[in-house]
Structure 1
Amino acid sequence: MRVNAAALRPVTASLLAGLLVLGAAQPAAAAPRRAEQWYLDELRIAQAHKLSTGQGVIVAVVDSGVDANHPDLKGQVLAGGRSDGGSGDGRADAQGHGTHMAGIIAATNASPDGVDGIAPGAKILPIRLDASADDAPYDEVTVSRGIRMAVDGGAKVINVSLGKPSAVTPEEVSAIQYALERDVVVVVAAGNTAKGSVKVEAPASVPGVIAVTGTTRGGSFWSGSVQGPEAVVAAPGDDIYNAGRNKGYGWGDGTSDSTAIVSGVAALIRSKYPNLDAANVINRIIRTARDAGPAGRDPQYGFGLIDPVTALSANVPPVSANPLLDPAAAANPAPTRTADAAEEFDVTQHGDRGGPTDQQVMVVVIGIAVVLVLLLGLAVFLIWNRRRYRREAALAADLPDDLLDQVATDGYAPPGAGYAPPPGYPAPPGYAPPSGYAPPSGYAPPSGYAPQPPGYGPPGGGPSAPPGRDNRS
């Protein structure tokens, strides 16, 4: 089959235009490292962000400092302080540990290779400890002072992603009480076995704080996490990708990362329910956790796996005191919603009307644009093809003028003089032989033929006409 290349040009142009529209309207590709943040999907953080982003909440990070110039933390880091008495305000981090925690909590995914935080609307208050070395020893004095500085700096959530295997000191207990009495939620890492710990470390073992253990993908208990009766909730702590030192990114393994995730969830709750005090924020977290391991509170998961969406949406009865300080309530608080009920969460009942995501809307818009472009291209092609056909037909009918002039508009004229019809054709009306016409030479009439004389009639004895009938023609 022969293809008319010229006829295909409009269709090709239409398809190309459609592809160009598709390429131009398509949203920017997701950050290459977003897939590394598996825990965001497991915790349904995108759904949680329909309810809260942590807007208006200050989260203190008592750690090695926070790099305020990290591309995913710019504008998120407030001027904090240094509890070791050194100069500066906490917005620098030679070690990278504090920056990693801050990224897990409040990263904004602002750079091309950016990452997302649990509460990107929250602000970070960095309280820097003596972290001049990569692995500075834990100092309960500077940590306790840092907790007090965080409270005085306006933090509503304090993240302490560090600890020590020794016993709790009076300074630590006093600092925790100082925070709890001033309506602050304190979240502390339970500890890692890699550092030689075999039980929940201090200050996570101080009553009233949320002591966090670690889990892996799928919610299994992480083997690198310590366990103990002080455990309150569990959160992802294995292969946690987020911000790091030198404005870069990296993975973290440990209950430090788990703690930062829970601190982010606490910020989401405090933003969603600004009238809740710290006791009820803690109560909401433990009552909506997904029970795992043995029924009720256990040494590995505590009250269960952290569940941000349910914590933001469930109807939780209020409490008058911190449930972690009430032995009866802390032993086994009645869950408000089961794990199956949490799956039935309807976002339309909680401020955001649900509906399609921005990406879904963009896909629909792209599809409509492509269809319109293709229809427009088809219409242009049909119009162009019709005009081409008419031009070709006109060219095919373009006869010479001298031939067109010979065609009579009202019929043909009679034949001229000397015309004789072909043999077997009758003579045209009014035709007479030319004057002087004679039969051709050698012509003889047929045998028995005789010309009829004038007055010729039928031979005698022939049949006569019927009576009353005239034989005249």
Structure 2
Amino acid sequence: MRVYVGALRPVAAGLLAGLMVLGAAQPAGAAPRRAEQWYLDELRIDRAHQISTGRGVVVGLVDTGVDAGHPDLRGRVLRGASTRDSGDGRRDPEGHGTHMAGIIAANGAGVDGIAPDARILPIRKPPGTSFTVEDSATGIRMAVDGGAKVINLSYGSTGAVDEGEVAAVRYALERDVVVVAGAGNVRQLGPDIAAPAKFPGVIAVTGTSRGGGFWSGSAQGPEAVIAAPGDEVYNIGRDRGYGWGDGTSDSSAIVSGVAALIRSKYPKLSAPDVINRIIRTARDAGPPGRDPRYGFGRIDPVAALTADVPSVSANPLLGGATAAPGASSPAAAGEDDNFDVTEYGDRGGPTDQQVMVVGIGIAVALVVLLALVGFLIWNRRRHRRELARAGDVPDEVLDRMDAGAHGPPVRTGPSPYAPPPGPRNPPGRDRP
């Protein structure tokens, strides 16, 4: 296993580290590859691709670069830049950025990406150097200036907040860019959400495991916005192979892909509306409403692409956002809503816990109903048998009577228990 870790400049700003563990690359012939991508099935990504594939959207990837020659990324990687030299971002000797790019936009040659028709704009640090907050700030601005409408930041730092990095994030938000960042991994960065994920306005992504449970390696905290798969995420690996990644780096790449799907489906939608759509359609998990582990819930690409969601006037993660006067989202004409995530609780639909309780209630009601019907049938037959025994009627006759009561009449002939026939009085004569 390999960990992508870089050191921050030697000051008290903390450690800047990669947020994922990349599995050992598999041979190019490893198969079946799509079957390993369990997270795509949980996200119903095949259904999402019937609606949008991310065409026309550029995703900025500030990372270690991207191997543009990988078969799954051919035709998907634009000429990018380097934060400290003349490189164009299309080489990646470390493999981390290529893995992220594959999760976002792999073309299906070996694995599928979340937004396979999106384009990746790679912004990298120079190979063999440490990734610093200066690289982060410079890279974010480069991605914005290069035309990215979504930026993925799969790294993080602890310690004092760097004002230059905060200003770079603000630069992106002010230019209608959706900024997505991994919350951080406990093993590398500790239990709390790291920067830049914790900055206001950024979609901070925590990790989930197979089945939707919270991934134990993910950081958590009040800044959490959305949760996405981050455990055993199979995609492109090093050396033009394939491998597994574990970490909120993978989770953030998934959410960046979903943001690209939305921006492609609704090209006139603002970045605040894209963010609003993601959090309003999330599948609630954990305690009702926003919580430190799942944020507003687990990402739901299909709902984010199809639900009726009102338009907002500002980034809902900044607080105080309200529905724009006279404005609505493409799927919700005529709706109006006031929405502030600091007061956000219910999304209007049943939670997983509520669905489970209703299901259990229905099952119990059916069991009780069946038991009642069975008891009534048994009691009726018991009562008839008691009456028959009181009249000295054998069981076989009673059985024939029961068969007649529940089916076509049965001819039994003269009852052997009827009084024997005798002479009848002729008409007009009195009985003796």
Kept in 1, the 8 Å contact 2:105–2:117? The answer is: yes
- Given the alignment, which residue of 277, 287, 295 partners 1:284? 277
Deviation (angstroms), 1:339: 6.2
2:40 matched to 1:44? Answer: no
Change (3 A) 1:293 1:172: same
Q: Give 2:98's aligned residue.
A: 99
Q: Within 5 Å, give how 1:341-380 maps onto structure 2.
A: none
Q: Give 2:35's aligned residue.
A: 35
Kept in 1, the 8 Å contact 2:58–2:118? The answer is: yes
- Give, in whole Å, the separation in 2 of the partners of 1:196 and 1:63: 17
Kept in 1, the 8 Å contact 2:233–2:245? The answer is: yes
- Give, in whole Å, the separation in 1 of the partners of 2:196 and 2:212: 25
Task: Report the secondary structure of 1:47's partner residue.
Answer: helix
Deviation (angstroms), 1:201: 0.2
2:156 matched to 1:163? Answer: yes
Deviation (angstroms), 1:306: 0.2
2:255 matched to 1:262? Answer: yes
2:174 matched to 1:175? Answer: no
Compute the TM-score of the two structures, normalised by the length of structure 1: 0.63
Q: Give 1:408's aligned residue.
A: none
Larger radius of gyration: 1
Task: Report the secondary structure of 2:134's partner residue.
Answer: helix
- Give, in whole Å, the separation in 2 of the partners of 1:257 and 1:194: 15
- Give, in whole Å, the separation in 1 of the partners of 2:170 and 2:179: 10
2:79 matched to 1:68? Answer: no
Deviation (angstroms), 1:109: 1.4
Task: Report the secondary structure of 1:72's partner residue.
Answer: helix
Q: Give 2:179's aligned residue.
A: 186
- Given the alignment, which residue of 119, 128, 133 partners 1:132? 128
Task: Report the secondary structure of 1:118's partner residue.
Answer: coil
Deviation (angstroms), 1:33: 1.2
Q: Which runs of 5+ in 1 are unaligned?
A: 1-29, 344-473
- Given the alignment, which residue of 326, 341, 364 partners 1:330? 341
Number of residue pairs matched by the alignment: 305
Kept in 2, the 8 Å contact 1:288–1:337? The answer is: no
Q: Which amino acid aligns with 1:125?
A: L
- Give, in whole Å, the separation in 2 of the partners of 1:88 and 1:176: 23
Kept in 2, the 8 Å contact 1:31–1:115? The answer is: no
Deviation (angstroms), 1:194: 0.9
Q: Give 2:116's aligned residue.
A: 120
Kept in 1, the 8 Å contact 2:180–2:202? The answer is: yes
Change (3 A) 1:51 1:337: farther
Q: Which amino acid aligns with 2:59?
A: V
Change (3 A) 1:181 1:196: closer
- Give, in whole Å, the separation in 2 of the partners of 1:235 and 1:289: 10
Kept in 2, the 8 Å contact 1:231–1:300? The answer is: yes
Change (3 A) 1:274 1:196: closer
Deviation (angstroms), 1:266: 0.2
Q: Give 1:53's aligned residue.
A: 53
Change (3 A) 1:324 1:333: farther
Kept in 2, the 8 Å contact 1:270–1:281? The answer is: yes
Q: Give 2:89's aligned residue.
A: 90
Q: Which amino acid aligns with 1:335?
A: R
Instruction: Note the alpha carbon deviations across 1:238-277, whole angstroms, 9 max, x for none.
Output: 0000012211111100000000000000000000011100
Q: Which amino acid aligns with 1:109?
A: G
Deviation (angstroms), 1:132: 1.6
Compute the TM-score of the two structures, normalised by the length of structure 2: 0.69
Task: Report the secondary structure of 1:188's partner residue.
Answer: strand
Identity %: 68
Moved over 2 A (4+): 336-340
Q: Within 5 Å, give how 1:292-331 maps onto structure 2.
A: 292-326=285-319, 329-331=340-342
Q: Within 5 Å, give how 1:142-291 maps onto structure 2.
A: 142-291=135-284
Q: Which stretch has the larger CA shift, 192-201 or 94-103?
A: 192-201
Task: Report the secondary structure of 1:127's partner residue.
Answer: strand
Kept in 2, the 8 Å contact 1:54–1:268? The answer is: yes
Deviation (angstroms), 1:131: 3.9
- Give, in whole Å, the separation in 1 of the partners of 2:270 and 2:345: 18
Q: CA RMSD in A?
A: 1.6
